[in-house]
Amino acid sequence: MIYDPKKLAITVLSGSATNASRDKGILTRMHFAEVRAYQSFKQSEDHFRSGAAQIALIDSSLADMDGLDCLRKLSRNREMSVRAMVMVTSECRQNYVMDAVSAGCSGYVIRPYSLETLEKHIRAAWNSLSAGEIEQEMLDSAKAALWRQDFDAAINEFEEVVSEDNEALEYFNKGMEYLRAKSFGKAIIAFNKALALNELYAEAYKGLAYAHKGKGDAASYQEHLKKAADLFAMQDKLQELREVFVEILKDDPEAVNPYNTLGVKLRRAGDYLGALHAYSQALELTPTDENLLYNIAKACIYSGDNASALGHLRKALALRPDFREAAELAGRLEKGEGALQEQQANPQTGDGSRLMLD
């Protein structure tokens, strides 16, 4: 949906009558179709359940709860349909901002603000929640062809959508970089774009699957449906990765290479492809970290690629010949022995796994 204040309803949530009155006045001057204000979440529940509000502006404190709790309730309750949630507050502590990012806010504005600043942030938050007008038009056109059972045209148009480079991971990586640089507004926008693009590509692959099914091509149907499923799963994964990364920064704001810790957490959760992606990012920053190479090797083993694992272990040993754990694991792989089973591990080195023999 194109951002047009004249067609959008916006709701202010603030325990401060002064803040609510000022916010409401400025939003009215911005010509929103409807502007409402509530001092407590309880007062606003029926309004949000009705689906009447597309945007919520949330202060750091409501009459009945903290602004972060309000944000979480709105983002997790499917009965309360609101597209964009923007924090508008004087609260600028780093941990608070990161908690808002983790909870899924669409934008963050620090008081005091100007009309121009607020308008810019609301517009950016709204626009970042969709993949883009051109991409959406391409997807809609392909869906229309599928609907009228013009399967050849549908396949051509869906393939045009997915032929573009998947920028979702690129935006996600940008978001993590912005978080580390404390550019919170940019991080939020980047995460939103990553999720929106993943959804677009997933819908396109799903459309391709059904177009091939319509033509009787069962193999292509299964192939594209699997790609769609992988991308839909990645949407949830990106949300989880964002939350994990925020927690890493909160625990260790001076961490030199948070991707390694992130990779360990993902690997221990069983997300080996996600772990390998995180480790590859870490390797860009610290290519001579033998512990990182050891972690990558273990993730490769879990994902069934023992040859790549052995290559990374040999690189680790070249950097540190006395690396006992890497030498033992390399020796077992060279003998063709077994697979790893995850146990409690050191968050940096991943020590604690053991090799299970076949």
pLDDT in tens, 130-148: 777 778 888 899 999 999 9
Q: Residue 22: what residue type? A: R
The C-alpha torsion from 107 through 113 and 115 to 121, rounded to 10°, is: -20
Q: Give the separation between CA 190 and CA 349, rounded to whole angstroms.
A: 30
252 is a domain residue: no
Please state the domain count of the chain: 3
CA atoms within 13 A on the CB side of 249: 22
Q: What is the pLDDT of residue 354?
A: 32
Identify the CATH number of the domain in which residue 276 sits.
1.25.40.10
Beta strands 84-89 and 55-58 are parallel
Same domain as 114, residue 18: yes
What is the four-CA torsion angle of 61, 189, 236, 272, rounded to 10 degrees? -120
Q: Across-strand partners of 339?
A: 356
The residue range of the domain holding 17 is 5-128
Going by pLDDT thresholds of 50, 70 and 90, the confidence category of residue 348 is very low
Q: Say how far apart CA 17 and CA 303 lie, in whole Å.
A: 55
Q: Is the pLDDT of residue 8 over 70?
A: yes
At residue 63 the predicted structure's pLDDT band, cuts being 50, 70 and 90, is very high
pLDDT digits (tens, 9 = 90+) for 232-254: 766 666 666 566 666 666 666 65
Q: Is residue 194 part of a domain?
A: yes
pLDDT score at 351? 41
Whether 253 is in a domain gets the answer no
Reported as a single tens digit per residue, the pLDDT across 161-194 is 887 666 777 888 888 788 777 777 788 888 888 8
Q: Please tell me which residue, 122 or 96, carries the higher pLDDT value.
A: 122
- Residue 238 falls inside a structural domain: yes
Residue 140 one-letter amino acid: D
Is the confidence at residue 104, as pLDDT, over 80? no
SS3 assignment, position 66: strand
